[in-house]
Amino acid sequence: MKQNNIDASIIRTLSSFTYFTGIKWLRPALLIPAENDPIAFVFKYEAEEFMDKTWIQNVKTYMKAEVLMKEISGTIRESGYKTVGFDYSVERDSYVLFFELFKRLNSQVNVVDVHALIMQLRMIKAPDELEAIKQASRIAEHGMQKAIETVDTGKTELEVAAEALSEMMKEGAENPHIYVTTGPKPRIHAEPRSWVKIQPNDTVEIVISADFRGYYSNLTRTVFLGGLSDEKRKVYEVFMEMHRIAEENLKPGTKLIEIETLLRKHAADRGYSNNYVTGFAHGVGLLTEEDPITTIVIPHRRYETMENMVLASIHSPLTVPGIGTIKFEDTYVVRTTRPEKLTNFHYEITK
């Protein structure tokens, strides 16, 4: 913040609040000065438990939302802050609405977006963060196993998802996610649908995100009902070749776009240039998908991989009409020589 002439930053996004305080807490508000200790704004009757579970001890309480805004704005004015950072991001709460209200109530302050600065910190994982992601990976594996056991002709996508979600929550996940995509018509991502039933010889893609203590792991596998026909086996083998290429090149200092180029070329060489979706990797941490997000944020493709960065790869599927959506995705930690794969689950899955 000092390097960017920012006096303080207000944190309201749940994931960044968790990152700085060490505890997941709904309706968060944290003011981090460039100097001195941070201040947390917590509902009155939650303050004691909050202070017991976090290192933050400077806590101001409130009972009403308007009091929360008054406390934050008053603290900023009393401290004489002129430039205040705001973690401008959209997650699970009305942070954008809060941002607009915050600007109106603090018209004397220059408000700047500090989301990119925070994500630069969050992209590199500390040992305790990596341990949580490893535990999340074990939960994801349990969820995947349950999902695959549930896959059968006549089952709906929602039934498969429900069994996997229940299993992951029993294993300790608090907010797991799952996509289930079945049938010969490709979809990139889709919430499981209650009216779509698995048919004989369908291709079923299962994307799982499991969490442990706020940290996520991603795991994707594709199930081939009725076995692998010659055409399906070709697509499967091409994807696994791309999976290997990506894994071999996830090294510190490599630009993500360089790996992307290799993958796109390989898909084209094997006849699938029109079936590959750009964006092979994304960050994993306090969000199931966080910076760098190469699928939708084009500048992130220029990022260099760094040691202890956690990435999900390959995130991009091969979408082949008549076959469906094919993807095999694992969670990796970038290490000095070769990446460490945190998710462990077999690849060729037929039923």
265-311 tens-digit pLDDT: 999 999 999 999 999 999 999 999 999 999 888 999 999 999 999 99
The conformational region for residue 75 under phi > 0 = left, psi -120 to 50 = alpha, else beta, is alpha
Give dist(CA 62, CA 106) in Å, integer.
19
Q: Would you call 157 helix, strand, or coil by DSSP? A: helix
Find out whether 133 and 216 touch, Cβ atoms under 8 Å: yes
Question: Domains in the chain, ordered, with CATH?
Answer: 8-122 (3.40.350.10), 127-350 (3.90.230.10)
CB burial of residue 313 (10 Å; 0-12, 13-18, 19+) = buried
Give dist(CA 56, CA 50) in Å, integer.
8
The reported pLDDT for the residue numbered 175 is 95
CA nearest to 137, candidates 342, 318, 351, 327:
342
CA nearest to 343, candidates 201, 140, 88:
140
Report the share of the chain in percent with pLDDT over 90.
85
The reported pLDDT for the residue numbered 94 is 53
Give the residues across from 42 on adjacent strands.
61
The reported pLDDT for the residue numbered 43 is 93
The reported pLDDT for the residue numbered 283 is 97
Reading the block at residue 59, the tokens are 């806590």
The reported pLDDT for the residue numbered 26 is 84
Q: Would you call 202 helix, strand, or coil by DSSP? A: coil
Integer CA distances (angstroms), 160 to 47, 57, 73, 222, 331, in order = 40, 44, 47, 13, 22
The reported pLDDT for the residue numbered 95 is 59
Q: Which residues of the chain have pLDDT under 50?
A: none
Residue located via tokens 């940290």? 215
What DSSP assignment string belongs to 72-116?
A: HHHHHHHHT-SEEEE----SSS-HHHHHHHHHHHTTTSEEEE-HH
Find out whether 160 and 151 touch, Cβ atoms under 8 Å: yes
The reported pLDDT for the residue numbered 305 is 96
Read off the pTM: 0.91
The reported pLDDT for the residue numbered 140 is 98
Q: How far is the first Cα of the chain from the last one, in angstroms, to the nearest whole number?
A: 54
The residue count of the chain comes to 351
Integer CA distances (angstroms), 97 to 9, 82, 110, 132, 258, in order = 17, 22, 18, 32, 38
Q: Would you call 346 helix, strand, or coil by DSSP? A: coil
Q: For 187-233, what is each residue's pLDDT tens digit? A: 887 889 999 999 999 999 999 999 999 999 999 999 999 999 999 99
